[in-house]
Amino acid sequence: MAKKPSRTNRIPVIPVALSLMFLATFAAVSAAQQSSNIGPAQGRQVTLRKQLTIGLKVFTQADKVFIDKVVTAVEQGRLPRKLVDSTFLWARGRAKRRSYARYLRPMVYFQPGLTLRAKRIGVRL
């Protein structure tokens, strides 16, 4: 009569196969990452107009006109991009904190905030 192999002598086929698949996938991913030289300036870039329009939830025509003025001032070098970005982040955070009872768009904070900050450095929007 043939002796039945005990559980301890069997090779665990499924865990071995899974670990080999994981190692093959990991090796392929790491090789792909090493071959591509993506630096901090490369990758997907968003324009300032798109960032402000989507991030501030711009809907009205008056808001769009203001965003156009801001983008034009930044492109002409009259308004620092850093000032616009910091006001953008402030307005989004403020709208998130202040909209308890109703939904407020970040644009209602961005426009007066940026207008005031731009006025302080001598830029009229």
> Measured between alpha carbons, how far is 104 from 97 in angstroms, rounded to an integer?
10
Residue labelled with tokens 């006025």 = 119
> Measured between alpha carbons, how far is 6 from 12 in angstroms, rounded to an integer?
13
Helix ranges restricted to H, the chain:
13-35, 48-55, 61-76, 81-98, 107-120
More confident of the two residues 47 and 6: 47
Confidence of residue 22 (pLDDT cuts 50, 70, 90): low
> Nearest-CA neighbor of 57 among 9, 98, 110, 100?
110
Q: Mean pLDDT throughout 16-41?
A: 55
pLDDT at 51 > cutoff 70: yes
Q: What is the pTM of this model?
A: 0.63
Q: Residue ranges of the domains in the chain?
A: 48-120
